[in-house]
Amino acid sequence: MAAKEWILNKSQKELEEFCVANGFKKFGAEQVMRWIYSEKISDFSKMSNISKSLREKLDSNFHSELSKIINIHKEWDSGGDSKKYLIKLADEEIIESVLISYKNRKTLCVSSQIGCKMGCVYCETSGLGFIRNLTSGEIISQVLIVENDIKDKITNIVFMGMGEPLDNVLEVEKSLDIISNANFLSVAPRKITVSTCGLLNGLAGIEKYKYKIAISLNAADNVTRSAIMPVNKKFPIEDITAFINKRIPAGHNKITIEYVLIKGLNDSVESAKKLVRMFSPAKVKFNLIPLNKEKNSVYLRNFERPGDNVLDNFKSKLIKAGFIVTVRFSKAQSINGGCGQLRAEKIRSL
Ligand code: SAH
């Protein structure tokens, strides 16, 4: 007999087709998905409003086991607390998700790939190389198992963990359908941000469903950007500005331009002035991220974080020009859960 499929990898439509093909009502799909995602019950035999025959059919075709948390690193500071979850997948690969709690907001930073192909030189995940894409079920189960762990709801999701979400766009979109569905994980699209290094051809589906978009720019000219982000050769800065400028954003739906500040490389006042000329405060806001670096990082050995006064000068140029600017001092830095630092540790090192 063929191995059972993982039910978390199935879209609502696929499960509806399964139900109909086996002589059941299409609605059975929504019922089973409500149990799994909303009630957090994955054992088919406990799904009390579903007929015994459908439960048995599901059980003989699917399994519903969640990925396993193998370790949680915690950190607390006055700005809230963070937890880095190490999660083991069915093939023993390990991924990471970081939960950042601040007051009532619980933001989960999810991974979309194991490793990454994009080769950005300031990002630790790139140092891992690319191992494989995550399936939609593996993305969704990050949310599900963290909600189970904290016995609370995740309020916001950012695709800023390991990987480039738009390099795995089909699985990411499939996961988003379930994560944002009010009957299932119920995180509203405006509370979900997909962050990309700039694979502009993947953004149409993300925009269509009103998820928020963040673009990692990280340089104000093509020479610098190409030197640190190979993707710039395919989608240079003028393509990014053209994409943004033709968009008509609603007031609350500006694109976030993420900008990792690296000492001496992209942190000059001249660079800030270029950004001011390039973008309009009506269309974008900025998120400045002073470089995070693991103490012993070999991959990032040539890069440093700029001093606070450099950051302040850069920021005030943007603010004076009317932009909303936030600075992200990555939480979870001491547990290597800060931006760009997510790289799965191997089990043996736990
Ligand atoms: N691949 C996607 C999402 C993952 S990275 C992207 O590139 O947007 C999430 C954010 O962390 C990006 O804005 C990226 O520029 C930033 N980042 C990567 N490495 C970093 C580092 N070492 N220090 C600070 N931010 C970093």
CATH number, domain at 192? 3.20.20.70
Q: Are residues 95 and 31 in the same domain?
A: no
Our answer on whether the CB atom of 265 is closer than 6 Å to any ligand 1 atom is no
How far is CA 88 from each of CA 41, 108, 147, 237, 347, rounded to the nearest angstrom? 20, 17, 16, 37, 9
Model pLDDT for residues 29-42, shown as the tens digit of each residue: 999 999 999 999 99
Our answer on whether the CB atom of 185 is closer than 6 Å to any ligand 1 atom is no
The pLDDT value recorded for residue 254 is 92
Q: Are residues 25 and 88 in the same domain?
A: no
Q: Are residues 72 and 200 in the same domain?
A: yes
* Residue-number span of the structural domain to which 314 is assigned: 68-349
Query: Given the DSSP bridges, would you call strands 5-6 and 62-63 parallel, antiparallel or unpaired?
Result: parallel
Q: Is 345's pLDDT higher than 60?
A: no
Q: Are residues 85 and 50 in the same domain?
A: no
- How many angstroms separate the CA atoms of 196 and 211, rounded? 13
Cβ neighbourhood burial of 31 (10 Å; 0-12, 13-18, 19+):
middle
The pLDDT value recorded for residue 350 is 30
Place of tokens 């973008």: 279
Q: Which atom of ligand 1 is nearest to 293's Cα? A: 22
Largest CA distance in the chain: 68
Cα-to-centroid distance, 133 and ligand 1 (Å): 18
Catalytic residues: 96, 339
Our answer on whether the CB atom of 195 is closer than 6 Å to any ligand 1 atom is yes
The pLDDT value recorded for residue 335 is 59
CATH number, domain at 55? 1.10.150.530
- How many angstroms separate the CA atoms of 314 and 318, rounded? 7
Cα-to-centroid distance, 283 and ligand 1 (Å): 21
Query: How many domains does the structure of the chain reveal?
Result: 2
Q: Are residues 37 and 85 in the same domain?
A: no
Cβ neighbourhood burial of 71 (10 Å; 0-12, 13-18, 19+):
middle
Q: Are residues 320 and 335 in the same domain?
A: yes
Q: Is 261's pLDDT higher than 80?
A: yes
Looking at per-residue pLDDT, the higher value among 338 and 309 belongs to: 309
Using the 3D structure, point to which of 24, 42, 63 is the last residue of a domain: 63
pTM of the entire predicted model: 0.94
Q: Are residues 31 and 88 in the same domain?
A: no
Using the 3D structure, point to which of 45, 63, 81 is the last residue of a domain: 63
Q: Are residues 126 and 92 in the same domain?
A: yes
Q: Are residues 73 and 20 in the same domain?
A: no
Q: Are residues 302 and 343 in the same domain?
A: yes
Looking at per-residue pLDDT, the higher value among 165 and 300 belongs to: 165
- Using 50, 70 and 90 to split pLDDT, how confident is the model at 190? very high
CA-wise closest residue to 148 among 140, 156, 158: 140
Cα-to-centroid distance, 319 and ligand 1 (Å): 22
> What's the rounded mean pLDDT across residues 180-189?
98
- How many angstroms separate the CA atoms of 176 and 10, rounded? 12
Our answer on whether the CB atom of 267 is closer than 6 Å to any ligand 1 atom is no
Cα-to-centroid distance, 344 and ligand 1 (Å): 16
Cα-to-centroid distance, 220 and ligand 1 (Å): 16
Q: Are residues 344 and 216 in the same domain?
A: yes
Q: Is 243's pLDDT higher than 80?
A: yes
The pLDDT value recorded for residue 4 is 95
User: Which conformational region is residue 301 in: left (phi greater than 0), alpha (psi within -120 to 50 degrees), or beta?
Assistant: alpha
- Of the listed ranges 64-73, 147-156, 240-249, 316-325, the least confidently predicted one is 240-249
> What's the rounded mean pLDDT across residues 175-203?
97
Model pLDDT for residues 290-301, shown as the tens digit of each residue: 998 877 777 788
Q: Is 346's pLDDT higher than 60?
A: no
| Ligand 1 binding pocket mutation candidate from 216, 285, 297, 305 (most atoms within 8 A of CB) | 216
Using the 3D structure, point to which of 63, 93, 110 is the last residue of a domain: 63
Q: Are residues 124 and 38 in the same domain?
A: no
Q: What is the residue with the minimal CA distance to atom 25 of ligand 1?
A: 339
Mean pLDDT of all residues in the chain? 91
Q: Which atom of ligand 1 is nearest to 290's Cα? A: 24
Our answer on whether the CB atom of 109 is closer than 6 Å to any ligand 1 atom is no
The pLDDT value recorded for residue 277 is 97
